[in-house]
Structure 1
Amino acid sequence: MSDPAAHDGEERETMHALTTTEFVLRLAVGTGCGALIGLERQWRARMAGLRTNALVATGATLFVLYSTAVGDLAGPTRVASYVVSGIGFLGAGVILRDGFNIRGLNTAATLWCSAAVGVLAASGYFAFTAIATVAVVAVHLLGRPLGRLIDHETPGTDEDLHPYLLRLICRSRDEQHVRALLVQYTSGGEVILCGINTTRADPGGDTRLTAHLLLDGNAATHLEHLIARLSLEPGIHAVDWYTADDQAANAPGPVATTS
């Protein structure tokens, strides 16, 4: 029968045999996979983007690599559990309460997943690390439109969307045409139209329309494109946008006027 003490000694010696090349390789895989996850978040203009997710994955990888390098047999598992607890505190810092809505849950969950990817990379399971990375990115890319499809009746439940107001002034006789344009230009899915308020002036004068919109982190780009298209219409005199949180009429966003 084999001696358990000798077997433990062999395992400890194997764990001490972590070479510099293996250390760099595991660290690079952990950091790279965390950066891939953060790349999608950066593109969506989220609070925790490329650098944050890459650093979280790097930190988790380094903690597990340390326990492996010093030869602590139970270290990697114990450190991994500590990483899970520590990421919980970090995730709590990105969760915000906005009235009755809670924002940042997706970001916190993504940081948690980035840490898990780092732990896998540090353990040397590169195939599992790649699969986990693809799974996290796929959830963000595919889960978002699927969630919108399911919640198409209540789009405001998507925490990635933020409310904006688009205000324009047009000739009263062109109101119906402008309404049709707003519906047409917001039917692509990137901009969600929730409603339009109308303030009419004297008969034959101008009409003010306020469109209530929901957009994601690239709101400014989408709104500027929308304003550029609306400004080409001869019946529209002025267009501007601002966030729904800023209700002051004297603090609008960029303004486009037409002659």
Structure 2
Amino acid sequence: MRFLATFQTLDFLDTLASLMAAFVLGTLIGAERQYRLRTAGLRTNVLVAVSAAAFVDLAWHLAAAEGAVRVIAYVVSGIGFLGAGVIMKEGMNVRGLNTAATLWGSAAVGSCAGADMIAQAIALTIFVLAANTLLRPLVNAINRRPLDERSSEATYELLVTTSPGAMGDIRELLVAKLEAAQYPVSDVNVIDRSDDVVEIVATLVSTAVEAKELDAVVTDLARQPGVRHATWDVSTKD
């Protein structure tokens, strides 16, 4: 058998050490993901790390460093397809980006382990875990900050609810008041909510916005005959 002729104990122990390192480090990363009930949890991250290590180790033994480099390139692209499977879009929200990035990190850890760079694999694992745990309080603190309307890249919309009969006049009045406040309108849409209710949505041209000025426009519009409700909203572009 060719196996008996080519088997070398030291090479096998080297491979075993690489796979074991990838297994342990992948477990550390996956345990944090499993604890937070992410789509790609413990087993997925372990399998990604171990598989990446196995492919790189195999290429290293067959074609040395040149072969390992080629396989690592394929691992990077392959994990991209796997990560796309955990990214989900729900309305305007996108979920799973962090999970996909963590899978990429697990693959990098496995690749380092497969290339016998176990110290680097351990260091990378620490950084991945730190990104998913130590940075979480900072992310929460940033998310709790009030949105700065003047400096953020955002889309501003004014929404006015009225009757179909008054729609034409209210639409012209809405555009006129916004232009008078020096807020040019990029688009105006009319949405039929029911037989007797329509919603006029005016999207502003990207510009610095003063919240008090939009509040004044909305308050003035709400007082007009035929207007049932008027408000404005802001959403970030990213």
- TM-score calculated relative to the size of structure 1: 0.52
Runs (4+) of structure 1 exceeding 6 A deviation are none
The 1:21/1:152 distance shift into structure 2, 3 A limit, reads same
CA distance in 2, matches of 1:63, 1:18: 18
Matching of residue 80 in structure 1 with residue 81 in structure 2: no
1:86-134 per-residue CA deviation (whole Å, 9 max, x = no partner) reads: 0000000000001000000000000000000000001111111111001
- TM-score calculated relative to the size of structure 2: 0.56
Secondary structure in 1 matching 2:86: coil
- Structure with the bigger percentage of helix: 2
Q: Which amino acid is 1:105 matched to?
A: L
Per the alignment, residue 111 of structure 1 pairs with 103
Q: Of the candidates 34, 43, 56, which is equivalent to residue 51 of structure 1?
A: 43
Secondary structure in 2 matching 1:118: helix
CA distance in 2, matches of 1:81, 1:18: 27
**How big is the shift at 1:69?**
1.8
1:123-162 correspondence to structure 2 within 5 Å: 123-153=115-145
Give the gaps of 5 or more residues in structure 2: 1-7, 148-238
CA distance in 2, matches of 1:67, 1:17: 18
Q: Of the candidates 34, 37, 42, which is equivalent to residue 34 of structure 2?
A: 42
Per the alignment, residue 198 of structure 2 pairs with none
Q: Of the candidates 102, 113, 116, which is equivalent to residue 94 of structure 2?
A: 102
**How big is the shift at 1:154?**
6.4
**How big is the shift at 1:71?**
3.3
CA distance in 1, matches of 2:50, 2:94: 28
CA distance in 1, matches of 2:54, 2:109: 12
Larger radius of gyration: 2
**How big is the shift at 1:77?**
0.4
Q: Which amino acid is 2:16 matched to?
A: V
Structure 1 contact 18–69 (Cα < 8 Å) conserved: no
Give the gaps of 5 or more residues in structure 1: 1-15, 156-259
Identity %: 48
1:175-233 per-residue CA deviation (whole Å, 9 max, x = no partner) reads: xxxxxxxxxxxxxxxxxxxxxxxxxxxxxxxxxxxxxxxxxxxxxxxxxxxxxxxxxxx
CA distance in 2, matches of 1:85, 1:32: 24
CA distance in 2, matches of 1:115, 1:18: 25
